Chains A and B, each alone.
Chain A
Amino acid sequence: MSAPLPNLVHEPQKPTVSALALTLPVAMGYIPLGTVFGFLFVQAGGAWWLAVAASIFVYAGAAQYMMIPMLAAGMSVGSIVLATAIVNMRHVFYGLSLLNKMPQNPFLKWYLIFGLTDETYSLVTTMPQDCEPKKMVWVALINQGWWVLGTLMGALIGAQASSQLVGLDFALVALFCVLAVEQWRSRKSSAPLWVALASYAMAYPLLPSHAMVISIGLSVAAAVFLQRKDSTQEGVAP
């Protein structure tokens, strides 16, 4: 796969150019957040190219941020995979709104599916129904280009700097806070918040080092239990 920008220069067609323009708001977020990811990854003791590899092959913001402390603590690949699956669970539903809107070419189609991040999903679903499918792929590819570019810059800065400042990794706490606020804003019920707090309060005194995995398990169990109860009360399926 070639880099997006040189191709744009050789192929100055209108749809391609406007695909680039569409991604500019995403670039404003992906470049700085990618930079922070690359920086923290290298500061945590990872190689710069490993940070770039993560942005090329994983390409999932919150999961990539989450992997930094997990890798630094040497956690098992199994628990990293479990945590990734849970953080990215929401992606299972993104494709449902795009089933009839995909490019024919299988390579383009599977790349678009691979690149379906929160931001790409938002852009692609708001593009008009009759738009060129290729344009969706360009949007996905350019978005990933911004993310990889940011990661590379951050990783290179992080490899140079030996920072005396403590607390820069608070950016991760802030990111999770932002995501929690957005989930809260769009909530249908407040139960998930209370379930999570209760689960953590139970799990932490038991095993502080595994509090995250245990409380996720408890939350899933509570969700299944609560919804069984809901659906029996409602009687019929929705």
Chain B
Amino acid sequence: MIDSMYGLGAIAAMGVVTFALRATPFVASQWLKKHPMVQRLGQFLPLAIMTLLLIHSALGSIKQNPAGPWAELVAVALVGVLQWRSKNALLSILIGTGIYVFLRNWQG
């Protein structure tokens, strides 16, 4: 169970952080323009963070699967190829998840 007070606290904190980030240019556009380092970090970090989130979450799925990493590797590769070719996020996510659920539930 997720404790509701704990969940509310986390939601409030996440809401404040997200809003603060979105509001930053409107209160600090001069400062941002003066610091190219901030802009370059903004260009560098997203690909790094998404790579980390992908590895970390895929590893989490692998650890929960006693049958080994093959289902995860196949499904991640499938989602990657589908997204690269189709640029349709919903399609890639639904097909990849569907195949993964199938592999986990009906292939031992």
> A interface vs B, CB < 8 Å?
28-29, 32-33, 36, 44-47, 50, 53-54, 57-60, 62-63, 66-67, 69-72, 74, 77, 80-81, 84-96, 98-99, 102, 110, 113-114, 116, 165-185, 187-189, 191-193, 195-197, 199-200, 204, 211-212, 215-216, 219-220, 223-224, 226-227, 231, 237-238
Contacts and interface: CB of A to CB of B under 8 A. Distances in A.
A171 B36 CA distance: 36
A166 B105 contact: yes
Interface of B: 1-2, 4, 6-15, 17-19, 21-26, 29, 32, 36-61, 64, 71-72, 75-76, 79-80, 83-84, 89-90, 92-94, 96-97, 100-101, 103-105
Nearest to B84: A181
Given A29-B89, A81-B17, A223-B45, 6 more contacts: A50-B7, A57-B15, A96-B32, A167-B61, A196-B51, A227-B44
B48 A195 contact: yes
Q: Is the interface of B mostly helix, strand, loop or mixed?
A: helix
A46 B7 CA distance: 8
Contact of A167 (B18, B38, B101): B101
B13 A81 contact: yes
A60 B21 CA distance: 11
Contact of B57 (A172, A187, A195): A172
